[in-house]
């Protein structure tokens, strides 16, 4: 018999006398065992080990896979159902923090619109259910027919899973995979290569700095790991110890929380960095070694204060004060990212910002910048396979003529996220999508293979190098997989086997364990060998099997602070001498402006709610008010008060943004903090499908981006500096009014409520 004790979704179980004594005896044993164990040992990882009593809460360790940050989480489960997500207090990256996107992984798990079985497009043109065997056979046949014309698009974060996709592509004879990642990641690595000699994302020691100049990096808005940087920012500003200055055209959440905000003209961030360098060089506070290092990178004289102020649109006194404060700080730090890397001169702007650290002596010291390092497990799994290529190369892979191209897309949605990709997409004769949802790309696929969500799969991730310490994080599934979904790594292995190119592992977990064993063996043989694990991690009389077991049980392999190192110094970049100088950040090809009286600079940005769009199908995130505009359930355009008064735009009016290739209509939010001449629009909306909670909501700002604009020097789209015309259309109809927090919900009957196994309203 069962009843209800008043808590939603949790039935009360009534048991008989005999069963009562069985449960009572088991509970007594559990209590006695608990007296001998530490509390943290109750955090269970493998699903198969659960010995919890019915209705008891068990916290299981996992890894958030909603972005590439690699934040560690713990999931409260009851009767093997996930109920709540919290940040793991001792998490390597996040130290207990978790963002809204991470919390919403519960709704990803229990989403009613998940893909639950393999599907194939039939003669009618509709997707029809098929068995896994039929789906794999169809996919393998298409790949085997044209292996050299097959392209893999992998959205996996850096680590063993991405290495497996590289190995898969090489084994079937396909081209190097396309790694689906934000464009600024590609730009940041190239900027670091020019400034520091290493093409890795730098690690910033913000917590131990006393003055941080952030050039375009919205680290509180979801850039890299918001959970990590929020904690570092809290330490920086504790007791007014440090100061944060944000240089960014848009008034982001980071800018709103900074001690000082410099709203530069979009595209002038690198010019500002060079101008500040000129003031520092002339201040007499720069050491000779630091001066020499900087002038090695930039032999030409920097612009003067007047030219910098005019180009950046910032008062000269504010720039002068910034340089003076940097020169007086004991541990200054310059961070670069986000919008500073979005323009055509993104690489030059990023390198100019990073080079300021060399001038300030911040390279490799406490509170400064370090190299981004990892253990190299991606390469271990990949073997000799080619490295991945950036997303901007995808359109060139598909010739548009049709007939021979095969596209394998795993955990990515290029049709939604890549501007102008529709024409190239039609050139693929067969599209194979590995996805948990019918996103825009999956909806158009010929074969759909359902995959597990984060909480259902075995995970092995090399996290974003925000700390400068190498790590391989491992987590077992927290819940059993739903329906017929499989691990994407297992699907890749099954596809390779079906195509006649079987790889040496039966599953993804075995591939990870084999790479751990190989690394252990290599280190034992030669602690100084190339690619071997640091000897200090291999302690005791362990054999390879014991090492693998202990590593997986412990949740991975984490380095020590002693492994953090400075990047290569500028003078060591070239064995024959120093580089000839970095590109001029003042150079940028102007984008074509649409016809009209005046045009605005478009600033696409990722909101803390939807990220790049992956959170758009979850009502928790749609219902979450944007921190600055308080808009919910849709997209919006941020317009400056000055511009709105001139154009007759009022809050909520429908405005049209017209670019060179498309136009979009959306409600306007008038804000005094928007830089005049700019208009901000969040990315992530406007999905063709992606489930009932995303379908038809908002607009896709990527439609306004030009397909022929790239960041100079790398294969990345330049989404900054695009010019659009803004015009008021009309007052919104009732169905078009933006939902504003605190002003009542429109059409409440149309606003869906969240779902999940409820926990008395707390889940």
Residue 699 has a pLDDT of 92
Q: Is the pLDDT of residue 138 over 60?
A: yes
Residue 222 has a pLDDT of 84
- Could you give the CA distance from residue 582 to residue 355 in angstroms, rounded to a whole number? 10
Lowest mean pLDDT among 68-77, 385-394, 576-585, 674-683: 576-585
Lowest mean pLDDT among 168-172, 415-419, 511-515: 415-419
Q: Is the pLDDT of residue 749 over 90?
A: no
- Could you give the CA distance from residue 389 to residue 493 in angstroms, rounded to a whole number? 21
Q: What is the DSSP string of 314-355?
A: --HHHHHHHHHHHHH-SSEEEEE-GGGGTSTTHHHHHHHHHH
Higher pLDDT, 20 or 79: 79
Q: CA angle, 724 as apex, 722 and 727 as ends, to 5°?
A: 160
Q: Does domain 2-109 have CATH number 2.20.25.90?
A: yes
Pairing assessment for the beta strands 678-682 and 556-558 based on DSSP bridges: unpaired
pLDDT band per the 50, 70, 90 thresholds, residue 30: very low
- Is the CB of residue 722 less than 8 Å from the CB of residue 709? yes
The 8-class DSSP code of residue 377 comes to H
CATH 3.40.228.10-classified regions of the chain = 203-370
Lowest mean pLDDT among 629-638, 667-676, 744-753: 744-753
Per residue in 448-484, pLDDT (tens digit) is: 999 999 999 999 999 988 999 999 999 999 999 988 9
- Mean pLDDT confidence for 238-263: 92
Per residue in 271-285, pLDDT (tens digit) is: 999 999 999 999 888
- Mean pLDDT confidence for 379-398: 89
Q: Among residues 268, 270, 216, 273, which one has the least CA distance to residue 605?
A: 216
Higher pLDDT, 203 or 591: 203
Q: Is the pLDDT of residue 652 over 90?
A: no
Class of domain 119-181+375-501 (CATH, top level): alpha beta
- Mean pLDDT confidence for 75-82: 91
> Over the range 137-153, which residues count as b (16 or more CB within 10 Å of their CB) and which as e?
ebbbebbbebbebbbbb
> Over the range 653-678, which residues count as b (16 or more CB within 10 Å of their CB) and which as e?
bbbbbbbbebebebbbbbbeebbebb
The whole model's pTM is what?
Answer: 0.86
Instruction: State residue 65 phi and psi, 5-degree precision.
Output: -110, 20
Q: Is the pLDDT of residue 538 over 90?
A: no
pLDDT band per the 50, 70, 90 thresholds, residue 327: very high
Higher pLDDT, 545 or 320: 320
Residue 132 has a pLDDT of 96
Longest Cα separation, the chain: 88
Class of domain 203-370 (CATH, top level): alpha beta
Q: Is the pLDDT of residue 590 over 60?
A: no
Give the chain's end-to-end CA distance (angstroms, integer).
25
Lowest mean pLDDT among 316-325, 633-642, 691-700, 710-719: 710-719
- Is the CB of residue 180 less than 8 Å from the CB of residue 418? no
Residue 761 has a pLDDT of 34
Counting Cβ atoms within 10 Å, is residue 369 exposed (0-12), middle (13-18) or buried (19+)? buried
Residue 20 has a pLDDT of 33
- Could you give the CA distance from residue 443 to residue 430 in angstroms, rounded to a whole number? 13
- Mean pLDDT confidence for 33-49: 39
CATH architecture of 600-750: Beta Barrel (2.40)
- Is the CB of residue 247 less than 8 Å from the CB of residue 264? yes
Mean pLDDT of the chain: 83
Lowest mean pLDDT among 103-117, 263-277, 420-434, 708-722: 708-722
pLDDT band per the 50, 70, 90 thresholds, residue 594: low
Residue 443 has a pLDDT of 94
Q: What is the DSSP string of 643-693?
A: HHHHHT--TT-EEEEE-SS-EEEEEEEEETTSPTTEEEEESS--BS-SSTT
Per residue in 345-384, pLDDT (tens digit) is: 899 999 999 999 999 999 999 999 999 988 999 999 999 9
pLDDT band per the 50, 70, 90 thresholds, residue 674: very high
10 Å Cβ neighbour count for 18?
7
The 8-class DSSP code of residue 703 comes to G
- Mean pLDDT confidence for 560-584: 65
CATH 3.40.50.740-classified regions of the chain = 119-181+375-501
Instruction: State residue 552 phi and psi, 5-degree precision.
Output: -70, -40
Pairing assessment for the beta strands 405-410 and 428-435 based on DSSP bridges: parallel
pLDDT band per the 50, 70, 90 thresholds, residue 681: very high
Which residues, 6 or more positions from 614, have their beta carbon under 8 angstroms from its beta carbon?
A: 66, 101, 413, 684
| % of the chain residues with pLDDT over 70 | 83
CATH 2.20.25.90-classified regions of the chain = 2-109
Q: Is the pLDDT of residue 400 over 80?
A: no
């Amino acid at each position: 018999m069962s009843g209800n004790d008043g808590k939603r979704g949790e039935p009360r179980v009534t048991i008989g006398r005999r069963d009562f004594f069985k449960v009572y005896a088991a509970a007594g044993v559990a209590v006695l065992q608990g007296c001998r164990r530490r509390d943290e040992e109750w955090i269970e990882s493998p699903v198969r080990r659960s010995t919890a009593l019915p209705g008891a809460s068990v916290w299981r360790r996992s890894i958030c896979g909603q972005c590439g940050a690699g934040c560690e989480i713990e999931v409260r489960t009851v009767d093997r159902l996930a109920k709540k997500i919290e940040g793991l207090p001792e998490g390597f990256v996040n130290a207990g923090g978790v963002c809204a996107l991470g919390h919403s992984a519960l709704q990803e798990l229990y989403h009613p619109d998940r893909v639950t079985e393999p599907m194939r497009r039939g003669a009618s043109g509709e997707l029809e259910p098929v068995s896994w065997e039929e789906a794999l056979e169809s996919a393998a046949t298409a790949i085997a027919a044209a292996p050299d014309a097959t392209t893999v698009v992998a959205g996996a974060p850096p680590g063993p899973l991405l290495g497996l996709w590289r190995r898969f592509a090489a084994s079937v004879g396909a081209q190097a995979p396309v790694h689906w990642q934000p464009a600024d990641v590609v730009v940041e690595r190239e900027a670091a290569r020019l400034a520091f000699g290493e093409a890795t994302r730098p690690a910033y020691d913000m917590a131990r700095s006393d003055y941080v100049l952030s050039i375009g990096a919205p680290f509180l808005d979801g850039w890299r790991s918001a959970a990590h940087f929020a904690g570092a920012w809290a330490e920086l500003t504790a007791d007014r110890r440090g100061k944060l200055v944000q240089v960014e055209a848009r008034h982001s959440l980071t800018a709103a929380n900074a001690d000082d905000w410099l709203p530069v003209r979009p595209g002038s961030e690198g010019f500002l960095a060079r101008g500040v360098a000129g003031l520092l060089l002339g201040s007499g506070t720069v050491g000779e070694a630091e001066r020499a290092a900087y002038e090695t990178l930039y032999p030409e004289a920097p612009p003067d204060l007047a030219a910098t102020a005019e180009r950046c649109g910032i008062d000269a006194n504010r720039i002068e004060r910034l340089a003076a404060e940097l020169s007086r700080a004991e541990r200054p730090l310059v961070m670069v990212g986000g919008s500073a890397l979005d323009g055509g001169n993104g690489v030059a702007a990023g390198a100019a910002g990073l080079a300021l650290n060399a001038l300030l002596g911040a390279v490799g010291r406490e509170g400064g910048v370090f190299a981004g390092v990892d253990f190299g497990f991606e390469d271990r799994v990949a073997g000799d396979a080619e490295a991945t290529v950036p997303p901007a190369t995808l359109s060139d892979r598909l010739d548009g003529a049709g007939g021979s191209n095969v596209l394998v897309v795993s955990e990515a949605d290029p049709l939604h996220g890549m501007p102008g990709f529709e024409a190239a997409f039609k050139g693929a004769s067969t599209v194979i999508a590995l996805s948990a949802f019918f996103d825009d790309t999956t909806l158009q696929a010929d074969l759909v293979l359902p995959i597990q969500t984060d909480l259902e799969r075995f995970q092995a991730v090399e996290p974003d190098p925000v700390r400068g310490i190498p790590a391989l994080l491992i987590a077992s599934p927290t819940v059993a997989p739903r329906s017929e979904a499989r691990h994407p790594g297992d699907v890749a292995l099954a596809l390779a086997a079906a195509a006649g190119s079987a790889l040496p592992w039966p599953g993804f977990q075995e591939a990870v364990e084999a790479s751990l064993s190989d690394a252990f063996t290599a280190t034992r043989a030669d602690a100084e060998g190339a690619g071997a694990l640091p000897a200090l991690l291999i302690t005791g009389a362990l054999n390879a099997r014991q090492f693998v077991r202990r590593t997986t049980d412990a949740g991975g392999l984490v380095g020590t602070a002693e492994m953090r190192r400075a990047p290569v110094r500028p003078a060591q970049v070239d064995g024959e001498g120093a580089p000839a100088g970095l590109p001029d950040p003042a150079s940028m090809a102007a984008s074509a402006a649409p016809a009209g009286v005046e045009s605005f600079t478009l600033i696409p940005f990722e909101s803390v709610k939807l990220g790049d769009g992956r959170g758009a199908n979850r009502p928790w995130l749609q219902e979450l008010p944007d921190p600055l505009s308080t808009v919910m359930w849709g997209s919006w355009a941020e317009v400056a008060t000055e511009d709105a008064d001139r154009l007759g735009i009022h809050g909520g009016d429908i405005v049209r943004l017209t670019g060179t290739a498309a136009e979009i209509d959306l409600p306007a939010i008038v804000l005094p903090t928007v830089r005049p001449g700019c208009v901000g629009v969040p990315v992530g909306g406007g999905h063709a499908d992606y489930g009932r909670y995303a379908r038809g909501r908002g607009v896709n700002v990527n439609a306004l981006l030009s397909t022929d604009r790239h960041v100079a020097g790398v294969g990345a789209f330049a989404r900054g500096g695009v010019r659009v015309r803004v015009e008021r259309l009309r007052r919104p109809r009732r169905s078009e009014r933006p939902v504003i927090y605190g002003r009542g919900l429109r059409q409440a009957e149309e606003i869906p409520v969240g779902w999940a196994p409820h926990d008395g309203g707390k889940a």
